[in-house]
Structure 1
Amino acid sequence: MGTSIEIMAKDGSGSFKGYLAVPASGSGPGIVLLQEIFGINDTIRGIADYYAEEGYVVLAPDLFWRQEPGVELGYGPDDWQKAFGFYQGFDQDLGIADIDAAVEALRARPECSGQVGALGFCLGARLAYLTACRCNVEVAVGYYGMGIQDHLDEAANIKGRLVLHFAENDEYCPTEQREQIHAALQGQDNVELYLYPGVDHAFARAGSEHYHKPSALMAHQRSVTAFRKAMGPHYDLSALWDKHCEYEFDTRNVADTMATMVAEPYVNHIPTLTGGVGYKNLYRFYKNHFVDANPPDTKLIPISRTIGDTQIVDELLFCFTHDREIDWLVPGIAPTGRYVEIPFVAVVKFRGDKLYHEHIYWDQASVLVQLGVLDPAGLPVAGRETAAKLLDETLPSNELMGNWPSSEGKD
């Protein structure tokens, strides 16, 4: 996805390479991506491509070039030994000067809209912190950095936003060091510090033995939010989601629906495990089991919408007459002819200006009760009442609680 460019060193000692990834739009704010101790390998290039999808022009400079240009290591025992050798031989001050050269080179490129941030992992996280202290960047983000506590005297120089992600069980940044960092930085308005319980170093690197997807997803959302707030790009996520829903439920055009999504999206209807992962399977699902499979009177009634920097959460009523088998919602249930109203929650994640995924939640028991295939007698479930109470909070509460009357008059 990316290309290799040359960056001139500030001390006149020559030039070094950097991996450049550009968003599909062709331009955007810049991010200088700072490597782990393993060089500009597949992991770093993948992260660069990932953030390019988010709308950024990403430059990953080869920071070990003064020792050996083009270092690209894996994560096996031998590569670890080589990586620590490069780490021990790394001149940090010259490295920051090279990062500064990369920042200026990126800012000068026609693809870059002008503002530049930094993002680093492991060694790169400490360098991201020092970049915030010494270089002209709008925002710097670091994952599980080591040695930051040795440079806290420079924190007063931070002018942009700083976001640091820490792993609770990180042997390279143990509790004592983390507490020093927190004590020095947590009072600054432009600093965000996050701790991820029960995880270890490299929790955000897919394929790592310590990879923890929930923490990685949360950290990524916080990171992109910081970049968005500090330097954009800003997208009208509400309009993008509305257009996607228009293609799904109004014009019922599968090609147009897929065009609103990233190259490899996914949809997960949580209660029924229906949807699709990847373009091919999701297209098949939309074409044969969703877009043209919904009843003609299908209606979405919005209740609330929460818009973040990377996602939307919609609360709505989903209404339809069950005049056909609806594979994705009630697979295997023959048409009953009954009208159904159910509360829905849609969590919609974006990458840049494209939908990345949908997580859709509803109460399946309420659907089955309304269709007459589940007898609610003796069960703590309700039918259409769940939708009615969403619109009218004054309707009775606690009627499924047999012991509710026993608390009458109690404190």
Structure 2
Amino acid sequence: MRSRRETITVADGGFDMHLWVPDQGSGPGLLVLQEIFGVGPYIRKVAEDLAGRGYVVGAPDLFWRLQPNWAADHDDEGLTRSLDLAARFDFETGVADSAAALDTLSRLPEVSGGTGVLGFCLGGSLAYALAAQADPAAVVSFYGSAVPDSLGLMDQIAAPIQFQFGGQDPYIPRDQVTRVQEAAAGRDGMEVHVQEAAGHAFHNFEAPRFHHPAAEEAGWRLAVEFLSRHLPAGVRS
């Protein structure tokens, strides 16, 4: 696969979007929205996995106004500094930046067959909010902490969307996850999956404090299968 950076231009400046193009040179677009650790080794490996499956993957640098090209280590210091950035991050501006990145991704010559969004943690919340404003072909939201308190947005979402949570998540208590399940029940194109034994950020294989291998495997299989139904890339790897 090939990789490069694109510049996303918005009213008050510009920021990087890291891009991965599959070996076949084209495919559906998939916007991957970062967790608080930034576009670091974890997000890059996720992007490479998805590009290997045939997607043109874009990962925008959403902390650019606070700390351009932020990529923290998954240790105590990295977590503390990332939480500080997240506390100063303006969510609505982040949604607007994500929308600009999605628009840029959709217009790239390598992108064909639609575009989707996948986000982790902070990015899971952003993906959910973005789905209420844009019209992606598919959305996957991993443990977005803003989801339970903004269930009204579901009425504005037409895209197929998959939510994933950990049943032992201290940041998103199980009763809040139940509220999401109840709100999504019966809605076409919406599904909620809970890895009951896992906590927050269970998919993050770069963060030993969070990673839950069995939940990572099960959750990723569900995400990939969901994308293959709603945003097929035609490549298996």
TM-score under structure 1 normalisation? 0.56
Find the residue that maps to 2:65 and give its secondary structure.
coil
Find the residue that maps to 2:168 and give its secondary structure.
coil
Taking the aligned partners of 2:148 and 2:196, their CA distance within structure 1 comes to 20
- Kept in 2, the 8 Å contact 1:131–1:140? The answer is no
5 Å-filtered alignment, 1:194-213, equals 194-209=193-208, 210-213=210-213
Task: Quote the residue 2:168 is aligned against.
Answer: 169
Tell me which amino acid in the other structure corresponds to 2:127: A
Task: Quote the residue 1:8 is aligned against.
Answer: 9
- Kept in 2, the 8 Å contact 1:108–1:114? The answer is no
Taking the aligned partners of 2:236 and 2:179, their CA distance within structure 1 comes to 39
5 Å-filtered alignment, 1:299-318, equals none
Tell me which amino acid in the other structure corresponds to 1:58: V
Tell me which amino acid in the other structure corresponds to 2:134: C
Instruction: Point out where structure 1 has 5 or more consecutive residues left out of the alignment.
Output: 235-351, 355-411
Q: 1:181: Cα distance to partner?
A: 1.3
Taking the aligned partners of 1:98 and 1:207, their CA distance within structure 2 comes to 26
Are 2:152 and 1:153 equivalent residues in the alignment?
Answer: yes
Tell me which amino acid in the other structure corresponds to 2:227: F
Tell me which amino acid in the other structure corresponds to 1:223: A
Task: Quote the residue 1:225 is aligned against.
Answer: 225
- Kept in 2, the 8 Å contact 1:160–1:190? The answer is yes
- Kept in 2, the 8 Å contact 1:204–1:216? The answer is yes
Are 2:222 and 1:215 equivalent residues in the alignment?
Answer: no
Task: Quote the residue 2:95 is aligned against.
Answer: 96
Task: Quote the residue 2:57 is aligned against.
Answer: 58
Taking the aligned partners of 2:100 and 2:204, their CA distance within structure 1 comes to 27
Q: 1:163: Cα distance to partner?
A: 0.4
CA deviation vs aligned residue, 1:224-283 (integer Å, no higher than 9, x gap) = 12112112123xxxxxxxxxxxxxxxxxxxxxxxxxxxxxxxxxxxxxxxxxxxxxxxxx
Q: How many residues align?
A: 235
Find the residue that maps to 1:87 and give its secondary structure.
helix
Instruction: Point out where structure 2 has 5 or more consecutive residues left out of the alignment.
Output: none
Task: Quote the residue 1:129 is aligned against.
Answer: 128
Tell me which amino acid in the other structure corresponds to 1:227: L
Q: 1:114: Cα distance to partner?
A: 4.4
Task: Quote the residue 2:73 is aligned against.
Answer: 74
- Kept in 2, the 8 Å contact 1:35–1:63? The answer is yes
Taking the aligned partners of 2:44 and 2:181, their CA distance within structure 1 comes to 31
- Kept in 1, the 8 Å contact 2:33–2:120? The answer is yes
TM-score under structure 2 normalisation? 0.95
Report sequence identity in percent. Answer: 32
Are 2:193 and 1:190 equivalent residues in the alignment?
Answer: no
Taking the aligned partners of 1:2 and 1:173, their CA distance within structure 2 comes to 35
Taking the aligned partners of 1:201 and 1:97, their CA distance within structure 2 comes to 25
Tell me which amino acid in the other structure corresponds to 1:84: L
- Kept in 1, the 8 Å contact 2:31–2:116? The answer is yes
